Amino acid sequence: MDSYQESLRWMKDARDCYHRSQRCFSQEDWRGTVQNAQFAIELSVKAIMAFFEEPDWTHRPDGQLRRIVEERREEMRERFDEPR
C-alpha cells in the first residue's frame, strides 16, 4: 500500500472515531466522547504524516509531525492552499 492509500485509511478511521465521539456526546458518555475525540486527533495526525512519509510507531508523534511541517512547509502551502 502506498503512502497516499495509507493516509486515506487513517483518515477513514479518524472520521469513524469522530462520529463515534459525537454519538457518545449525545448520550452524555463523557469518557467515550473524550476517548474517541482523542483517537480522531491521533489518527488525523497519522494521516497527515502518512501522506508525506511512513509514520513512526510511537505514542508521541509530535516530533515527526513538526519535522514534516518544517521540511515541507512550501509543498504543503501549494497542495493545501491556505484559506484567505
Give the single-character DSSP code of 83. -
Q: What is the pLDDT of residue 82?
A: 61
Q: What is the pLDDT of residue 35?
A: 97
- The torsion defined by the Cα of 54, 57, 62 and 63, in degrees rounded to 10, comes to -70
Looking at the predicted structure, is the pLDDT value of residue 84 above 60? Answer: no
User: Distance between CA atoms of 9 and 16, rounded to whole angstroms?
Assistant: 11
Q: Hey, where are the domains in the chain?
A: 3-80
Looking at the predicted structure, is the pLDDT value of residue 75 above 60? Answer: yes
Comparing C-alpha atoms, which of 21, 49, 56 is closest to residue 37? 21
- pTM, two decimal places: 0.74
